[in-house]
Structure 1
Amino acid sequence: MPRRKKWKSGNVVEIELDDGSFSYGVVIEEPLVAFTEATFTERPEITPKLFSEVAFQLWVMNSAIGKNGWPVIGDVPLKELSIPDAKFYRHDIISKKFYHYVDCTNDIPSTREECVGLECAAVWRKDHVEDRLKAHKEGAVCQWEESLRAENKA
C-alpha cells in the first residue's frame, strides 16, 4: 500500500468554518501548522502577508489535510514569513512532571508555572481545530484548548 503523500512546508490550506467564513493555515513542518488571526468571507490573495498575524500554531493529524480534509490551495515561501518558533509543553500523567520543548523535539524538565500559556504537545483532529478557530473568532474559550491547558493539570 503506498504511503500517504506528506504535506510540504509552505502549503496553504483553506478551512471553512460552520458560519461560512474561512481561515487559513500554513504548514511549517509536518505536523506543525500556523493559523491566521483573521477570518475571511472570500478567499484572499495567497501571499506571505496572509500570515503576518498568526492566532496559534498546532500539531495537526495527517487526516486533516488533503483528500478528506482541508484543501491545499497554494504555497508561500516560509523564509518570507516571520512566524515565531512554536513552543509546546507536555505533562507526564504518571510522574506528574512537566516538560517544555525548545525545538519541538527535545523536552526539557520544567514547572507547571513555566508551561502556563504554552500549547500542549498534542496532535489535533480536524474538527477540534475548526472548533478552536471558531471560538477564537468569537473571543470565546474552546473546550479542547481549555482541557489541555497546563494550569488544569495536577
Structure 2
Amino acid sequence: MPRRKKWEQGNVVEVELDDGSFSYGVVIEEPLVAFSEATFTERPEITTELFGKVAFQLWVMNSAIGKNGWPVIGDVPFKELSISEAMFYRYDIVSKKFYHYSDCTNHIPSTREACVGLECAAVWRKDHVEDRLQAHKEGGVCKWEESLRAENKP
C-alpha cells in the first residue's frame, strides 16, 4: 500500500510557540519547509507576502505536520513564492569530510569554511523546530542549531 502523502507544495502550517505567538511555514517540497521571519499573536491572512522574508529552511520529520503535528491551515500559490533555493551541508564522521547539498541526493565535496553558515542536512523534530523558532524570535541561539553548525564539527 503506498504511503499517504501528508503535505503538498504550497501548504501553510501554523506553529504555536511557547510564548503563545504563532509562526508559519510553507512546504517547498517534502520534507523541506521554509519558515517565515514574522511571528503573530493572531492568525494573519494567508498569502505569499507571509513568506516575503524567510528565517530559515529545514527538512522536517513527517510527523511534524498533520494529525499529531502542526495543522495545515491553508495554501499559497507556490509559483508566486520567491524563496531562494536551500543549500545544506553534510559532515561525514567516518571520512571527516564536508559536502554541500542542494537537494536530498546530490552532494558536492566541500570544506568546513565553505559550510559555515549553511544549514546541516538533518531532518528536524517538531519540538526542535519550535525551539529554534522561539530562539529566533527572541534573537537568541537555539541549542539544536548550535550543535549542528559546521564550525562545531571536528
Q: TM-score, normalised by structure 2?
A: 0.97
Paired residue for 1:96?
Answer: 96
Shift of 1:78: 1.1
Structure 1: runs of 5+ lacking an equivalent: none
Shift of 1:102: 3.2
Percent identity, aligned pairs only, is 86
Deviation sequence 1:35-94 (CA, Å, 0-9, x none): 000100000000000000000000000000000000000000111111000000000001
| Letter in structure 2 aligned against 1:92 | D
User: Superposition pairs for residues 36-55 of structure 1, below 5 Å?
Assistant: 36-55=36-55
Paired residue for 2:150?
Answer: 150
Deviation sequence 1:103-148 (CA, Å, 0-9, x none): 4431000000000000000000000000000000000000000000
Q: What secondary structure, in the 3-state scheme, does the structure 1 residue paired with 2:9 have? A: coil
Paired residue for 1:135?
Answer: 135
Counterpart-to-counterpart distance in 2, 1:137 and 1:102: 26
1:104–1:85 Cα change, 3 Å: farther
Shift of 1:18: 1.1
Shift of 1:5: 2.8
Equivalent pair of 2:128/2:144 in contact (CA under 8 Å):
yes
Counterpart-to-counterpart distance in 2, 1:152 and 1:38: 28
Q: What secondary structure, in the 3-state scheme, does the structure 1 residue paired with 2:34 have? A: strand
Q: List structure 1 runs of 4+ shifted beyond 3 angstroms.
A: none
Counterpart-to-counterpart distance in 2, 1:51 and 1:145: 21
Counterpart-to-counterpart distance in 1, 2:82 and 2:2: 35
Which stretch of the first structure deviates more once superposed, 107-116 or 2-11? 2-11
Paired residue for 1:35?
Answer: 35
Deviation sequence 1:9-39 (CA, Å, 0-9, x none): 0000000001100000000000000000010
Structure 2: runs of 5+ lacking an equivalent: none
Counterpart-to-counterpart distance in 2, 1:49 and 1:104: 27
